[in-house]
Amino acid sequence: MCQLLGMNCNVPTDICFSFTGFQARGGVTDVHRDGWGIAFFEGRGVRVFLDPQPSCESPVAELVRHYPIRSLNVIAHIRKATQGAVGLENTHPFMRELWGRYWIFAHNGNLEDYLPELDGSFLPVGQTDSELAFCHLLQTLRLRFPAGSPDRLALREALEEFAAQVRPHGPFNFMLSNGDCLFVHRSTELHYIVRQAPFTVAHLKDQDVAVDFSELTTPEDRVALIATLPLTDNETWTPLPVDRVAMFAEGSYQPA
């Protein structure tokens, strides 16, 4: 299985600290060596970095780890290939346009006998079940909301229904964002933490690195982090509800 990392904030924030621990899971502290990627929303634009090399050996990952890109929504993925060859076209996260906005999607799981009918509006470039599911999802949303983008609650309801249709085919942990908020669906493992005042010291589980966030933040800052497995060993991470779509907005967990 792959590893997922997401961040949603109320002010633009860099993910360098969390990515330092996450990067190690791509071949040092875990076996996920089949590529990695990360996407940063900046206004209506998106910076996407992809590399089919293991993140622990990737010069691109080193660039990202030391590049304090500030974003309200970030999605990252470390791949353990189950379907599709190791290659750039099969590296998450995937990006498509819908309703005049970029959408970013990453998936952890393995969907078997999943053969949705696509109408050609969105087509996969690679061979992964993940990109196929993303194309099917966007097609479903486009047909359900022909007048344009719905509000967040209607969108979450549609994602809940879509996830329920896909789950019988296998684990369907995913992250999805259009830069407005972050949607997360847990099938097997996904945990989250919300960092807000009073900020304290956090220590990574995968690297001997610590940061005192009280020195880097203001009392109004709020940052939600979501990861397959907790990234720190001195903070309390909460498992997300199974088989539900969670929404994170303005750095807060928005339960259904």
pLDDT digits (tens, 9 = 90+) for 56-79: 889 999 999 999 999 999 999 999
Could you give the maximum distance between any two Cα atoms of the chain, in Å? Answer: 52
What pLDDT shows up at residue 30? 66
Q: What is the pLDDT of residue 218?
A: 95
Q: How far is it, in rounded angstroms, from Cα 254 to Cα 105?
A: 19
31: pLDDT strictly greater than 80: no
Q: Residue 97's beta-bridge partner residues?
A: 102
The chain-wide mean pLDDT, for the chain, equals 95
Q: Which residues are catalytic?
A: 2
> For the whole prediction, is pTM greater than 0.85?
yes
pLDDT of residue 32: 66
User: Would the pLDDT of 256 be above 80?
Assistant: no
Q: How would residue 255 be classed by pLDDT, with cut points 50, 70 and 90?
A: confident
The 10s digit of each residue's pLDDT in 80-133 is 889 999 999 999 999 999 999 999 999 999 999 999 999 999 999 999 999 999
The Cα–Cα gap between 212 and 24 comes to: 21
For the chain, the straight-line distance linking the first and the last C-alpha, in angstroms and rounded, comes to 27
